[in-house]
Amino acid sequence: MELPFAESWKIKMVEPMRKSTREEREAWMKKAHYNVFQLTGEQVYIDLLTDSGTGAMSDRQWAGIMTGDESYAGASSFFFMKETITRITGFEYVLPTHQGRAAENVLFNCLVKAGDIVPGNSHFDTTKGHIEAREAHALDCTIDEAKDTQLELPFKGNVDPQKLEKVLAAHADKVPFIIITITNNTAGGQPVSMQNLCEIRAIADKYKKPVVFDSARFAENAYFIKTREPGYADKSIKEICREMFSHADAMTMSAKKDAIVNMGGFIATNIEEWYDLAKVQGIIYEGFVTYGGMNGRDMNALAIGLDENTEFENLQTRIKQIEFLAARLDEFGIPYQRPAGGHAIFIDALKVLTRVPKEEFPAQTLAIELYLEAGIRGCEIGYLLADRDPETRENRFEGMDFLRLAIPRRVYTNNHMDVVAVALKNVFDRRDTISRGVKIAWEAPIMRHFTVKLEKL
């Protein structure tokens, strides 16, 4: 008999969890203005708010924490991190930042100006925020198929080359660079194929435009290339990473995802001129060029995490857990963005809460219901997060409305995933009794979902 699949690690340290009563959760939710970001950690049983900074570090990473070099300038931990990044990505110049959005801030300060257009595949909200805050436009050129949640495609995060070419043909002078997010978080943690990265590179070359990868989950993207794209089955994840990055000129990285650290990020590039510009911005906003918002010990942990998580077994353990949850949801007939993504399951709230009008935020309503049901915290990647159109100030209801269940790396077991699936089934079974959602009582002008105050209708 073939041995079953099992995790590629064992557990050395545990953290107790606490359940709550429905009564407690109702009071906490009300106090949080029906915004899951306003709940405290203790009020949550299974926390699937994000996979960012919530992973469990390995014993090797913790060992690295103890040997960090905290020199202000020239820390050996920086050079260890830089060499690891260069080995994995091929980028020569590395600038640390305290997290991914800081990398965006530093790089975009150098490259983006008012009136610019930055095309890409479903920019993440901070990326879009940093573009729009500079009065530029983030133009989504993701393939249309990504919007059909029930369509099974191996690379649903891809850029539509025709859409991209159209933008460049019309507005090349306004495009500072193309940004490709790997994996495509907003579209459901969906990967981008190597073939697509090649095609984008060819279009970029034709118009002499640089390409930047928003690389938060690049290792998961490489796993999907290895397991889904013809010709890559025999290549190592590290070989695939080198090939992916050979199609880019620079990367921004939130190390809180695929480097499995609780805080950290960086910019890496082969364009010396960009590095020289970014260094100045980095010093102003983050810190000196060899620490940029990070501790020496954290740079050690980042380097080790990056190395571990560009190994097949670690990624396989992770993706198999997402697939495990997806299979349970399939048993219950709960619709989600298919196939399951790299870091999360994205429940198609419009197909679940069909009675809740768009204007009342169905995915947010589902997030509230799941929390009340079992203390499970997911988050809305939908109409609240989409913010208002900067010009018309209208809500943007044209995209998807998902409840994202993001799975932290190496933290929960499949028994926890079972609890999540059954809790969601219980909500799903009573979906026809849910006809009203929420309305906005107060909101910030951008990135409102973090602080929005809602009222239950």
For the CB of residue 107, give the shortest distance to ligand F0G in the complex, in Å: 12
6 to 35: interface string for ligand F0G, x by CB under 6 A: ------------------------------
Helices and strands (H and E) in the chain: how many: 15, 14
What is the three-class DSSP state of 189?
coil
Query: Quick check: is 45 catalytic?
Result: no
Question: Does residue number 300 form part of the binding site for ligand F0G (CB under 6 A)?
Answer: no
Question: Does residue number 181 form part of the binding site for ligand F0G (CB under 6 A)?
Answer: yes
Distances (CA, A) of 175 to 171, 172, 202, 390: 7, 5, 16, 19
Query: Taking CB under 6 A as the criterion, which residues in 417-446 touch ligand F0G?
Result: none
Query: Quick check: is 214 catalytic?
Result: yes
List the one residue out of 346, 255, 338 whose CA is nearest residue 303. 255
Query: Quick check: is 130 catalytic?
Result: no
CA–CA separation, 244 and 229 (whole Å): 13
Question: Does residue number 380 form part of the binding site for ligand F0G (CB under 6 A)?
Answer: no
Q: Which stretch binds ligand F0G (CB under 6 A): 99-107, 313-321, 367-375, 441-449?
A: 99-107
210 or 342: whose CB is closer to ligand F0G? Answer: 342
Tally Cβ neighbours within 10 Å of residue 433: 7
The single residue of 5, 72, 397, 450 carrying the catalytic annotation is 72
Query: Quick check: is 257 catalytic?
Result: yes
Query: Taking CB under 6 A as the criterion, which residues in 252-271 touch ligand F0G?
Result: 254, 256, 265
64 or 408: whose CB is closer to ligand F0G? Answer: 408
Residue listed under structure tokens 């409102």: 448
Contact 367, 402 (CB under 8 A): no
Token output for 414: 């499949």
For the CB of residue 435, give the shortest distance to ligand F0G in the complex, in Å: 29
Q: Which stretch binds ligand F0G (CB under 6 A): 122-130, 143-151, 283-291, 333-341?
A: 122-130
CA–CA separation, 275 and 104 (whole Å): 13
Question: What DSSP assignment string belongs to 73-126?
Answer: SS-HHHHHHHHHHHHHH---EEEEESSHHHHHHHHHHHH--TT-EEEESS--HH
341 or 362: whose CB is closer to ligand F0G? Answer: 341
Q: Which stretch binds ligand F0G (CB under 6 A): 66-74, 123-131, 295-303, 311-319?
A: 123-131
Residues with Cβ within 8 Å of residue 43, at least 6 apart in sequence:
20, 24, 25, 28, 375
Token output for 392: 């018309």
Question: Does residue number 159 form part of the binding site for ligand F0G (CB under 6 A)?
Answer: no
Question: Does residue number 50 form part of the binding site for ligand F0G (CB under 6 A)?
Answer: yes
Backbone φ and ψ for 132, nearest 5 degrees, come out as -70, -30
The single residue of 47, 51, 116, 125 carrying the catalytic annotation is 125
- What is the separation of C-alpha 279 from the centre of its chain, rounded to a whole number of angstroms? 25
Backbone φ and ψ for 268, nearest 5 degrees, come out as -135, 145
Consecutive H or E run containing 367: helix 362-374
Question: Does residue number 126 form part of the binding site for ligand F0G (CB under 6 A)?
Answer: yes
- 47: β partners: 377
Query: Quick check: is 450 catalytic?
Result: no
Query: Quick check: is 416 catalytic?
Result: no
Question: Does residue number 77 form part of the binding site for ligand F0G (CB under 6 A)?
Answer: no
Question: Does residue number 214 form part of the binding site for ligand F0G (CB under 6 A)?
Answer: yes
Backbone φ and ψ for 179, nearest 5 degrees, come out as -115, 125
Query: Quick check: is 332 catalytic?
Result: no
Q: Residues in the site for ligand F0G, rule: CB under 6 A?
A: 50, 52, 99-101, 124, 126-127, 181, 185, 214, 216, 254, 256, 265, 406
Instruction: Report, as residue numbers or ranges, the catalytic residues.
Output: 72, 124-125, 214, 216, 257, 449
